[in-house]
Every structure is written in structure tokens, then in C-alpha cells.
Structure 1
Amino acid sequence: MNILLILVIYLVALSCCEDCRRIGDTCYTAVVHTTSDISYNKAVDICKDRNKDIGLIRDENSYKEVMEFLRHEITKTNKEKWYLTSIWTGISFDPVNVRITSPGSFAEWFPGYLLTGKYLFEDFTNVWLTVFNDPDAAAQGMSNGEPIAQTYGVLCEMKLN
């Protein structure tokens, strides 16, 4: 491989991760607001405006690292030292057949908040992540909801390969 090409790839990878957490071959960033004002469609637009995609969580290790990254972001973004936030992910879910429909995605469900069923929850197809600043808090994880629901932010990603 050409040395110049290697240098360009290296510099792109560095610039990607200035404001992110690199986990494997993915660079994650988070946009966190102090008000719950982000629908799923707005979340997608926020990531696109940053030349990124809305973030997927691919395995348990990535989930744990993303949660730790978000705990840091909560403290940094919210000077009031909020205890929790919820942000959109790119994970999609079929509540009728009770399965994740995003290929290669992982879910760690918020206790008691996996909402399923044909009549009441058929539109609850998108997944957000709730994280507390306390890593030992039991009530954190993923929940499914309608894309019109409002969260505090979005997890964005850029694949590095």
C-alpha cells in the first residue's frame, strides 16, 4: 500500500475520534440535549449533519463501552449533574414478532420495558438507550418506542474500515 494512502487513512481515523469513543472499528459520538426534544427522524438528521450514521450497538462489549462513554457525556453536557439520559440508537425492533430487525445488533433491555404486541405496541419499532451516571443502577438499558417519541439525544457512528 502506498505510504501516502496509509498516512491519509491514519489522519482520517484520528480526526474521526477527536470527539468520540472508538470501539473496535467504529467511532461513536453522542449529541445530548438538556431537554427531551429529539424524535427518531430528527436524530437521524443530526447524525447525517455530522457525516455519520445513527449508531448501532453490535455486542455486549460495545454496549458496556457505549454506556461508559455516555456516562461521561452526561456529566460533560449537563452541568446540573443529571442522573440519567435517554438517546436514540439505530436499532430497529419488531414488537409483533419480538425480534431485533437491524442486522448484527445487540440489545440489553431496560428491565420491564420491552413493549410488545400487535395492537398496543406495533408502532414501537425504534430503540433508545437509557443510561444513569451510576453504573450500578439497575434500571438502565434499551427500550423500544414510537419514532415520534422524544429523547434527550442520539448516538451517532462512523465505521472506520
Structure 2
Amino acid sequence: MAFLSEGFRPITFNGGSIAVPRTWKGRTSDDGNCYIIEAPDGTMGITLSIYYFTVGETREDDRFIFDRFLAIRRESELVSDEGDEIVIGESVVVDRGDGTLSAIFAGREGNGRQFMVKIAMNSGTLAVVYLERVDDEAERIDDVAGPLFRSVVVGPSD
């Protein structure tokens, strides 16, 4: 958990923010909707993707959009370029009651690659935070994911 003592730096985007380890370096896509942040030793990385859409007329509409996006994202994780088996755990959708829906799921590829994903949506902003560990010698992915995923904020600011 070395980065926890090193502090965080904020990344803000239209409709939200996230805090990433201060020592991790990153770059932004030309349109500003994708951020790639990597650990200094290259063993872990974060991809933050932001999507914007028209808000549904009801909470049920928003839940349908969220559930469909979650299903597509989970299905896309099952594709391996190298044909390795990929195992993905269950995801539970959490409705915070303030319009925010979120879900977290984790997986492992046969080659040892691990990943965790948090998807959060509120008021037409959907953020996908993808954390990947590519080296078994790296910090435990759970140690990084906890504080990282708790820092995700989407939706209108107060």
C-alpha cells in the first residue's frame, strides 16, 4: 500500500472527479473523455473513461441504461487476444438513492493479469474506472482499488 502514504491528486472531468495516486503519471485523450494513469514501475494502470448521454425520463430508464452498459462491459472482458480463460466475479448494482448507480466487478485472466472495474452513473455522466495489475509482484489490486473506487464522484456538484 505504498501509494496510500504518498497521497493523491485529483482528476476532474465534466460531471465528476476521482483521486489517483500522486506518483502515478498519466495522459488524457484528445477529447478529454479518457485518462490513462500508470504506476511508476509499470505494474499497474488505471483507465478512466467518461461517457455522456441523455438522462432518462424515469429512474427505471436510467437503471435500464446502466444495466445494459454493465452487461456489455462485462461481456467485453470475456474476450482474450491470447485465448486465455478469463474468470469474472459477480457484480451487484448499488443505488445510493441520490440518483447514483454503481457496480464493481473483478476478474482474472489465465496469464495472471488481474483487473477490477467500477462503473458509476448519475445525471447523464457515466464513469468507468478500470484498474489492471499485470505483474504478480505488484501491490495487491484490492489495496489500490478500495481507496481509488471510493474516491469516484459522478453527477451534479453540490
Higher relative contact order (CA 8 A, sep 6+): 1
Structure label with greater radius of gyration: 1
Answer yes or no: same fold by TM over 0.5. Answer: no
TM-score, length-normalised on structure 2?
Answer: 0.32
Higher-helix-fraction structure: 1
Report which of the two has the higher share of strand. Answer: 2
What TM-score do you get using the length of structure 1 for normalisation? Answer: 0.31
